[in-house]
């Protein structure tokens, strides 16, 4: 059997863009408790250049992506990210990864589309900080790891660092099933 493809979400998993965006919104007195206002701000008002100027990797994720890409654990490692903004957001993300992680693919999709409808899911892995994305991935026959900056729970496939992917029970089961 083929090795799984690893799909990693960007915002909130690889980069702290969400944290920085909310700091910028607070500074601009945007009501961060109103989901509609926040969504509208992301679509029309946020300065993506300012956001990326202050964005940093979460838990050395850029270096970890390089290592995972070079490892023999996966058939491929791909960034799978939703876009809530427009061209600037996509350009900045693509440029960042192109410069930092050579030969990594970046697949972008519009906010609101299910990731599980865009790429092959069956027997592949998604790391995402949105539980809804993880649930839909699991329903389609993939393996999902919920990313949480606050906690790691290997038994329930919750990680807070990309380098911990290979320690999760689900990944170990998948490897055993396929390779041993």
Integer Cα distance of 57 and 44 in angstroms: 25
Element (H, E) at 176: helix 169-179
Using CA atoms, how far apart are residues 169 and 116, in angstroms rounded to an integer? 22
Domain span including residue 45: 17-54
pLDDT of residue 132: 92
pLDDT at 11: 92
The per-residue pLDDT for range 19-47, each reduced to its tens digit, is 998 898 899 898 989 988 888 887 778 88
Give the strand order in the sheet containing 76-83.
105-110, 76-83, 5-8, 125-128, 143-147, 158-159
Residues 71, 23 within the same domain? no
The answer to whether 168 and 155 have CB atoms below 8 angstroms apart is: no
Q: Does residue 81 share a domain with residue 36? A: no
Same domain? For 171 and 146 the reply is yes
Q: Give, for 171, the enclosing helix (H) or strand (E).
A: helix 169-179
Same domain, 78 and 34: no
Q: How far apart are CA 116 and CA 21, in angstroms?
A: 26
Residues 121 and 141 in one domain: yes
Note the pLDDT of residue 15.
94
**91 shares a domain with 175:** yes
Q: Report the pLDDT value the prediction gives residue 160, as an integer from 0 to 100.
A: 87
What pLDDT is attached to residue 35?
A: 86
Position 134 scores a pLDDT of 92
Whether residue 157 contacts residue 169, with contact meaning beta carbons closer than 8 Å, is answered with yes
Task: Count the domains in the chain.
Answer: 2
63 and 141 assigned to the same domain: yes
Same domain? 119 vs 139: yes
Question: What pLDDT score does 152 carry?
Answer: 84
- One domain, residues 134 and 47: no
Q: Rounded to whole angstroms, how far apart are CA atoms 55 and 58?
A: 9
The domain that holds 116 is classified in CATH as 3.40.50.1000
Residues 158 and 81 in one domain: yes
Q: 22 and 101 in one domain? A: no
- How far CA 89 is from CA of 8, 42, 47, 84, 141, in Å, comes to 17, 10, 9, 8, 30
pLDDT at 178: 44
The residue ranges of the chain whose pLDDT is under 50 are 177-180
- Do 117 and 154 sit in the same domain of this protein? yes
Contact in structure between 64 and 166 (CB atoms under 8 Å): no
């Amino acid at each position: 059997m083929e090795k799984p493809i690893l799909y990693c979400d960007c915002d909130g998993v690889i980069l702290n863009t969400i944290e920085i965006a909310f700091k910028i919104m607070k500074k601009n007195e945007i009501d961060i408790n109103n989901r509609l206002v926040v969504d509208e701000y992301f679509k029309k008002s946020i300065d993506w250049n300012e956001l990326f100027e202050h964005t940093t990797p979460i838990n050395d994720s850029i270096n970890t992506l390089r290592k995972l890409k070079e490892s023999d654990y996966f058939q491929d490692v791909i960034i799978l990210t939703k876009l809530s903004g427009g061209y600037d957001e996509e350009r900045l993300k693509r440029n960042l990864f192109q410069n930092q992680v050579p030969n990594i693919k970046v697949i972008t999709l519009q906010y609101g589309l299910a990731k599980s409808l865009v790429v092959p899911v069956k027997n592949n892995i998604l790391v995402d900080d949105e539980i809804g994305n993880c649930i839909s991935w699991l329903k389609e026959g993939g393996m999902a790891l919920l990313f949480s900056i606050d906690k790691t729970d290997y038994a329930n496939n919750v990680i807070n660092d990309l380098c911990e992917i290979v320690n999760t029970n689900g990944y170990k089961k998948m490897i055993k099933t396929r390779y041993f």
